[in-house]
Amino acid sequence: MRIGIDAMGGDHAPVVEVQGALAARAVLGPGDRIVLIGPEPLLRKHLPAAGGWEEFIELRHASEVVTMNEAPVEALRSKPDSSLSVLTQMHRDGKLDAAVSAGNTGAFVAAAQMHLRRLRGVHRPGIAVVTPTPHGSVTVCDVGANVSCRPLHLHQYGVMASLYASIVCGVANPRVGLLSIGEEDAKGNELVKKARDLLREEKSIRFIGNVEGRDIFSGACDVVVCDGFVGNVVLKLMEGMGMTMLKGFIEDLRAAMPDHLDTVKKAAGRIMARYDFNEYGGAPLLGVGGICIICHGASSAVGIQNAVRVAREFASRRLNASITSMLSGREKVAHA
């Protein structure tokens, strides 16, 4: 298996990408290779001078870089030799089995749609994030690929994220909830009300109806379906709130038990790790004709390493074939 990494993507590129590629050796199978894409002289500067890395890492030169705040489509058009464009084009040409980037998410989604196309039957790709909770992981989809959802899109996110949760994450018969503002059918906006009807008719998934914001952490469901605007707000809120609350608690405890700073620090470290996005290694873009793993812009080398692990799991379970067989030939609901 050959896994490509956009070496120029994240906030700390190419340092963490190169370190992540080196660390990825631990999660590669025999014969697997990493392809690092970016300005070759720069990448060589960050790779060990003593060598050894050539055994599992290849370099592919790309001279340009899409930055974080560029408008996606314009950036891809004006920079045909960007590391991100080269990544998805190599994947399209069969030179890679999966693509990993911590760069501009919008540009990655656009490049994936442009070069890899959507899977047959899929109307809009969605980003699925696996969120740790005390009751197990919860897969939230979409968290930002599609901010103008139609009911059909939410229906397809339910199907695709349910397949991901069961096939890749190993959750048996995942419970799928639709994110709304109350359990009752009457609650929600027009989009959610129409999507609920479609999801309820969908026999291939275990749809449990509406869930609320608090249910992401209550153990009520394994998959949460929402539009990309709401999902992105939720994702960033969880990140910001988690860090803020933990910091407050730790400060409180440090003041209360100055003799036990070490224990407090260790407990804090454990819970931080439990909620650390790096442990989960990146979010798959579901519904495109390839395997694209989107990493947090602030990913560490561990985050990149884990994204490679996620990419391998995604590829080895043949998820895309399952999505296509489930969603193609379903034109009867396409009007929704």
What is the binding site for its own copies (CB under 8 A)?
Answer: 69, 71, 133-134, 144, 147-148, 179-181, 184, 186, 188-190, 192, 212-218, 226, 228-230, 232-249, 252-253, 256-257, 260, 263-264, 266-268, 270-271, 274-275
Q: Please identify, using beta-carbon distances, which residue of 113 and 166 lies nearer to its own copies.
A: 113
Cβ 136 to its own copies, closest distance in Å? Answer: 13
* 177 φ/ψ angles, rounded to the nearest 5 degrees: -115, 150
Cα-to-chain-centroid distance, residue 100:
10
Q: Please identify, using beta-carbon distances, which residue of 80 and 248 lies nearer to its own copies.
A: 248
Q: Please identify, using beta-carbon distances, which residue of 236 and 318 lies nearer to its own copies.
A: 236
Edge-to-edge strand ranges of the sheet holding 2-6: 57-61, 33-38, 2-6, 98-101, 292-294, 283-286, 126-131, 138-141, 223-225, 175-179, 206-211
CA distance 210 to 176: 9
CA distance 235 to 264: 27
Cβ 302 to its own copies, closest distance in Å? Answer: 21
Cα-to-chain-centroid distance, residue 284:
4
Q: Please identify, using beta-carbon distances, which residue of 273 and 321 lies nearer to its own copies.
A: 273
Cβ 233 to its own copies, closest distance in Å? Answer: 4
Cβ 223 to its own copies, closest distance in Å? Answer: 16
- Which tokens is 181 given? 């503002």
Q: Please identify, using beta-carbon distances, which residue of 58 and 252 lies nearer to its own copies.
A: 252
Output Rg (C-alpha) for the chain, integer angstroms: 20
Cβ 112 to its own copies, closest distance in Å? Answer: 18
